[in-house]
Structure 1
Amino acid sequence: MNGIITLLYYITAVSATALTFTLSPNEKQCFYAFNTNTNNNIGYYFAVQAGGSFDINYTIKAPNQLIIVQEEKQRQGDYLFNADQIGEYEFCFDNEMSTFAEKVIDFEIKTSEEEEEKNVKANLPNTPKENKAVENMQLSVEKIERKLTFLENSLNYYKTRNNRNQSTVKSTESRIFWFSLFDLILMVAMAAFQVSVVKFFFQGSRKHLV
């Protein structure tokens, strides 16, 4: 069953939209971001948190339906591309290769507007000292922003690793349980078979003596 979810927002400033959603087996979901400026950068991050082999197929299309990115069986991605067209950008996730595995996916869209940054720089005070002070403040803000972005990406990475490790531990525990149960049943069956064989030999010996 294919599903379409519209995550529609106007890209007019620095912004970010994040969500976590579940993708059922044989299902496809699409999200849309509306770009209003040809000078925007769109960054996106996704990670499969649970389900199957932690992989998913995804496609990104421009407003003219031109494929920007198309990947198969990816566990996570963190990319940035230039949105040089006005209109809806389509982000689709496809779980049609899974017949029973449900996937949990973290997805985030980040946008930044180059034109706004140019306007800010153009509107700086004309006084050299003030201009220098404002530039230093901007550099400090940009540095803090980069560190926060790096920290956020690191937290997302560790969150993904933690979820995958927990899933691996649960899968290993389940395998150990069923293997131990099978081993126990096999030992009981072997014991019963050995008792039956010994009993058969003794019964045969008694008949021969009679």
Structure 2
Amino acid sequence: MFSSILLALTLLVSYVHATALTFALEPNEKQCFYIFNNKPNSNVGYYFAVQSGGAFDINYYIKAPNGVVIVKADKLTHADYIFTADQVGEYEFCLSNDMSTFAEKIVDFEIKVDDDFKASLPEAPKGNAAAEGMQKTVSSIEQKINQLANSLAYYKTRNNRNQSTVKSTESRIFWFSIIDLMLMAGISAFQVLVVKYFFQGSRKQMV
């Protein structure tokens, strides 16, 4: 039983077709990625999250093999969706930072065809409760692993954004302190000059 589950987990690692990467999206830049769907009505999952830069938002769209835009959204910080690819052919995923004039965005991105793993597993013999149970267990493990991976990616994004907020707050406090010190020094110098002027005027009147 244990060896069968281990074999199924090996198949899970070997046959899931996915692409994951982290890249920099320059200001006014668009980057596109492609995935080929071999079978109609496959479930294609995609995930992206902006780790740093600007307001943590980008635009994106997805084109079907016939050139029709099937998904489009603007100014999103992250997305985690699955859609049905009903056509065979190459799907285009484009991420755009054209709303930004100076802020570079660091983006995590992943595309996965969910049906690849299910298609590669051998079918359980009918009436074999042990084999069917093992197949359900493997499917449940696959689902839990995907949920865990998505949760870790989300926590990574939240951590990066919180760090960016802390760094921004520290920078603002530092420059506010510098300006405050300069303002206090300027006011002190002005007060010294005013007092000095009054004393000089009093001496002239006494003479």
Same fold (TM over 0.5): yes
Pick the TM interval, shorter chain: 0.7 to 0.9
Partner Cα separation in structure 2 for residue 76 and residue 119 of structure 1 = 32
Task: Tell me which of the two structures has the higher relative contact order, counting C-alpha pairs closer than 8 angstroms and 6 or more residues apart.
Answer: 2
Assess if the C-alpha contact under 8 Å between 1:23 and 1:95 holds in 2.
yes
Query: Which residue among 163, 186, 190 is the counterpart of 2:187?
Result: 190
Task: Evaluate the alpha carbon distance shift between residue 84 and residue 50 of structure 1 in structure 2; reply closer, same or farther with a 3 A threshold.
Answer: same
Which structure has greater helix proportion?
Answer: 2
The alpha-carbon deviation at position 39 of structure 1 amounts to: 3.0
Report sequence identity in percent: 64
Assess if the C-alpha contact under 8 Å between 1:41 and 1:114 holds in 2.
no
The alpha-carbon deviation at position 28 of structure 1 amounts to: 0.8
Aligned twin of 1:7: none
Query: Which residue among 131, 136, 153 is the counterpart of 1:134?
Result: 131
Aligned twin of 2:142: 145
The alpha-carbon deviation at position 153 of structure 1 amounts to: 1.0
Task: Evaluate the alpha carbon distance shift between residue 115 and residue 18 of structure 1 in structure 2; reply closer, same or farther with a 3 A threshold.
Answer: closer
Query: Which residue among 204, 207, 210 is the counterpart of 2:201?
Result: 204
Aligned twin of 1:58: 60
Q: Does 1:67 align with 2:69?
A: yes
Aligned twin of 1:87: 89
Question: 1:23 is aligned with what amino acid?
Answer: L
The alpha-carbon deviation at position 204 of structure 1 amounts to: 1.4
Question: 1:170 is aligned with what amino acid?
Answer: K
Alignment gaps of 5+ in structure 1: 1-12
Question: 1:103 is aligned with what amino acid?
Answer: K
Count of residues in correspondence between the two structures: 193
Assess if the C-alpha contact under 8 Å between 2:27 and 2:100 holds in 1.
yes
Query: Which residue among 92, 98, 101 is the counterpart of 1:99?
Result: 101
- CA RMSD of superposed structures (Å): 1.8
Assess if the C-alpha contact under 8 Å between 1:39 and 1:115 holds in 2.
no
Question: 1:92 is aligned with what amino acid?
Answer: C
Partner Cα separation in structure 2 for residue 119 and residue 147 of structure 1 = 18
Assess if the C-alpha contact under 8 Å between 2:36 and 2:91 holds in 1.
yes
The alpha-carbon deviation at position 69 of structure 1 amounts to: 1.2
Aligned twin of 1:25: 27
The alpha-carbon deviation at position 158 of structure 1 amounts to: 0.8
Alignment gaps of 5+ in structure 2: 1-14
TM-score (norm 1): 0.86
Partner Cα separation in structure 1 for residue 61 and residue 31 of structure 2 = 11
Partner Cα separation in structure 1 for residue 97 and residue 155 of structure 2 = 24
